[in-house]
Chains A and B, each alone.
Chain A
Amino acid sequence: MANIEIDGKQIEVENGCTVIEAARRAGVYIPHFCYHKKLSIAANCRMCLVQIEKAPKPMPACATTVAEGMKVYTASEMAVKAQKGVMEFLLINHPLDCPICDQGGECELQDQAVGYGSSASRFHEEKRVVLHKDIGPLVSAEEMSRCINCTRCVRFGQEIAGQMELGQAFRGEHAEIMTFVNGSVNSELSGNMIDICPVGALTSKPFRYTARSWELSRRRSVSPHDSLGSNLAVQVRNNRVMRVLPIENEDINECWLSDKDRFSYEGLNSNERLTRPMLKQDGKWQEVEWQTALEFVANGLRQIKDGAGAEQIGALATPHSTLEELYLLQKLLRGIGSHNVDFRLRQSDFSADGKQAGTHPHPNLPPEGEGATVSSDGGEPRQFLPWLGMSVADLGKADRLLIIGSFLRKDHPLLAQRIRQAVKKGAQVSVIHSTDDDLLMNVAHKNIVAPNAMADALAQVAQDVAAKNNAGISGSLLSGERVVVLLGNFAQQHPQAAQLQSLAQQIAAATNGKFGFLGEAANSVGAYLAHALPGTQGMNAATMLSSPRKAYILLNAEPELDCANPQQAMAAMQAADLVVAISAYKHHAVDYADVLLPSAPFSETSGTFVSTEGRVQSFKGAVKPQGEARPAWKILRVLGNLLNVSGFDQDNSEAVRDAALASVNIVEKLNNILNENVGRAMPDAVGEAHPTKTGGFQRIAEVPIYSADAVVRRAAALQKTRDAAVPRAAMHSAELEKLGVQPGAQVKLSQGQCCVYLYADADDRLPKGAVRVAAGHAATADLGAMFGTITVERA
């Protein structure tokens, strides 16, 4: 620790602390541009020059570390002269047209120019002009003359996003921030560059010139997309969401947001929004009053229950729904006698259900408890509740990681970023997966195998760690002190998910590590807590579709995009007598549904998401629901009333949340551990290892980052990014050759009765015998299961 003095204030800080940080803690603001607490220190703007006792020259506070007894003067004559000098230099080539700049009102340069600039410029030469650039649909670089070359954006790319897409080309006064040959910035974290740009050089393309910062009011919210639970500031004008910014939370998203979290808001204002309840009458859609629509639904459900039996009714929800919505949904279903409710729409292996450590199925559980189990000593019911297995902050402290079946960067952009920082500090990452996408971090070991070989690959590691084998992945894990084993979306959706899970559990145990799930969606954990699961008496998502029901309630789900097997899901929908779609959007359900109930997306309702680390975060609506849309919890509550189900009398979402979480000790509930080896053979459908003779390949299906939920699918700018491009069929070039297909040519892909045509890509990092075809996208929605055989032919 060092005792120093800043502008007369005494403060004690740890050695190695910078003067700028020490000053911040002492409540002294030192002007700065290039310094950013999360980035390396460049010390290039020189705005932070301060006087330090005994130093002959002013020193940059951002790059000077404290020393015992140091005396710092941030406002002395020397310091102020230096700061003013720098400010003058910064302004000579900067356009002085703040009133027409998009950054106006939230510009660090503008703010500091007021304090340190002089009124009249002594610069009478011609100002430099820097050409505008087009760097993609998200970040605007239209006004690069405003750039002050602080290089924060470049360092962000290199250090946080892990890729150098922006650089500072040329030198001296000609130095310019740009991409390589008019390329675009494709990072899934690119929007943060807008935040860290202290001036109006990099701005938000979708938001640009739509509003002034001071016209916006700001509401706290939580990301409804991935499972991290990023904290959002939803900025609003005239009851419209104008943009989304991060709220700093060091334990969650730090000061960052993924582009998905930041730019999805455009989907909230999409013209596909469903704003009136609609009924299909005589094959034609009619807008109707809520009352009419809800009575129609209640009657329909009652008829089916009375006629065919309640078990003919099923409910499918996405884990992007709120805790309150999911809770009331399952309560409604159970209230009318059906246990067919599930949110695990993309899961294909449910054999782990009911097999938790120290628990056994309980014979007479109360309705809400269905699917729950009690411990063998007769204690509290203990539900299987997969979660991260640790806090996000602890994940960042891991020194050895094994990541199993995860499209990590795209499925969990900011968790990937955290792991990237850990790797920089020396952590080792190993990967077992079916694709070898660049994680933009050093990967110590990897094993890239076809989907049907995943379990074997993992079993090998389990064996190796048990045998203390010091080579490869096993060696890496055994040498760690804080080992973490993670199962990604791919592993959770895998037909042998339970087996992968118990192997991961073994590996973690043998390495004294932690083991967890990278939750798929904003509320994957919350959905478990809400009991939106079938339990022992109901059907899970897959069974509900493979044994079609007569009636379905869809909560935010678009089955052809959200389900593990779209073909099967759509067949079930088409055949059903009654399909009730509760949705914020007029989606494909207009083809098969009977009633559309407009619900409010996260920005228009209050609710709760429970993140993958088990963090419960409630939020309020930022704007009023559009048109006649209503929060889904209210819709469900009224349905409960109409169907005379008890316990549907909550006045607000907080009451619903409290009912859902009443007497729940979440920490105790979070439970990844299985009590028995639940392995099962790879189902036949997944096919043989080398099926190329028949043209049959194993399908590897990711859900593209901007296809993962209903809101992002309708976010216009995100849909223009490279990550949102139409899926292609990627395979090893040897396989393409065997098929006689050139990379770039079309191929015909078929599963079941349907086929789609896609362009083929060669990717030699893919395992042979497999083809990568994304799911969750309109272009592939006619296909069948995400895992399994798929036939590829020349088109």
Chain B
Amino acid sequence: MLSVQVQEKIERELRKYPADQRQSAVMSALRFVQDEKGWIESSDMADVANYLGMAQMAVYEVATFYHMYNLKPMGKHTLTVCTNLSCQLCGAEEVLGYIKDKLGIGIGEVTADGKFGLREAECMGACVEAPLLSVNNKRLCFRLTPAKVDQILAELGGQP
């Protein structure tokens, strides 16, 4: 079952679209689920399908098409590092390497304590601030250096 909070948020999104186009809210519905529990299970997709009156498979198509959805647990804080060209030119791979070492995990993995998950992303549309990462798809952190990474991790309650 979708939580009351998620349902309320979906209702607010639904107001953006024509009444007979409930499916339009599917992307935000999935996002709300992910915001609440960190990832999206198939039962959540079924719930969303039910709520919006869509085929379950249509929800699944959406959830697997857009890469910011976590289809498995990705830790309390999912760090997503952009490695596209502008970021690469500015040292994204080194930064990513630093984060991997620091957290002791690879791409697509979660730290043992469940605090951090690591993902790699394509262009985030903020190239002039390269290299950069996003925290839980909500906050972008710019012009990363090892020191900056340390600071972000500390802020999020990781190892100093």
**Which residues does A use to contact B, with CB under 8 Å?**
163-171, 179-181, 183
Least CB separation from B42: chain A residue: A181
Least CB separation from A158: chain B residue: B55
Q: Are B55 and A169 in contact (CB under 8 A)?
A: no
| B65: A residues at CB distance < 8 A | 169-171
Q: Are B57 and A165 in contact (CB under 8 A)?
A: yes
B43 → A minimal CB distance (Å) = 9
Contacts A164-B57, A164-B58, A167-B57; A180 near B64 (Cβ below 8 A)? no
B90 at the interface (CB under 8 A from A): no
Residue of B45, B46, B58, B64 near A171 (CB, 8 A) is B64
Distance A170 CA – B64 CA, assembled complex (angstroms): 5
Q: Are A164 and B64 in contact (CB under 8 A)?
A: no
6 A-B pairs in the complex with CB atoms less than 8 angstroms apart: A167-B57, A167-B61, A169-B57, A169-B65, A170-B65, A180-B45
Distance A181 CA – B64 CA, assembled complex (angstroms): 12
| A183: B residues at CB distance < 8 A | 56
B119 → A minimal CB distance (Å) = 16
Q: By DSSP majority rule, is chain B's interface helix, strand, loop, or mixed?
A: helix
Which 9 residue pairs across A and B have the least CB separation, nearest first?
Answer: A167-B57, A164-B55, A180-B56, A169-B64, A181-B42, A180-B57, A170-B64, A167-B61, A164-B57
Distance A169 CA – B56 CA, assembled complex (angstroms): 12
| A181: B residues at CB distance < 8 A | 42, 56, 60
Q: Are A163 and B55 in contact (CB under 8 A)?
A: yes
Distance A170 CA – B57 CA, assembled complex (angstroms): 12
* B59-117 contacts to A (CB < 8 Å): 59-61, 64-65
A647 → B minimal CB distance (Å) = 58
Q: Are B55 and A168 in contact (CB under 8 A)?
A: no
Contacts A163-B55, A180-B56; A168 near B61 (Cβ below 8 A)? yes
| B58: A residues at CB distance < 8 A | 164, 167
| B45: A residues at CB distance < 8 A | 180
* B19-75 contacts to A (CB < 8 Å): 42, 45-46, 55-61, 64-65
| A169: B residues at CB distance < 8 A | 57, 60-61, 64-65
| A171: B residues at CB distance < 8 A | 64-65
Least CB separation from A168: chain B residue: B61
Distance A164 CA – B23 CA, assembled complex (angstroms): 14
| B42: A residues at CB distance < 8 A | 180-181
A657 → B minimal CB distance (Å) = 47
- New contact pairs (19) apart from A164-B58, A170-B65, CB-CB < 8 Å: A164-B55, A164-B57, A165-B55, A167-B55, A167-B58, A167-B61, A168-B61, A169-B61, A169-B65, A170-B64, A171-B65, A179-B57, A180-B45, A180-B55, A180-B57, A180-B59, A180-B60, A181-B56, A181-B60
Distance A164 CA – B57 CA, assembled complex (angstroms): 7
Least CB separation from B55: chain A residue: A164
A423 → B minimal CB distance (Å) = 16
Least CB separation from A182: chain B residue: B42
Distance A183 CA – B60 CA, assembled complex (angstroms): 12
| B59: A residues at CB distance < 8 A | 180
B40 → A minimal CB distance (Å) = 12
| A179: B residues at CB distance < 8 A | 57
A291 → B minimal CB distance (Å) = 60
Q: Are B57 and A166 in contact (CB under 8 A)?
A: yes
Least CB separation from B56: chain A residue: A180
Distance A171 CA – B62 CA, assembled complex (angstroms): 10
Distance A165 CA – B42 CA, assembled complex (angstroms): 15
Distance A164 CA – B62 CA, assembled complex (angstroms): 13
Distance A163 CA – B64 CA, assembled complex (angstroms): 20
A175 → B minimal CB distance (Å) = 9
Least CB separation from A163: chain B residue: B55
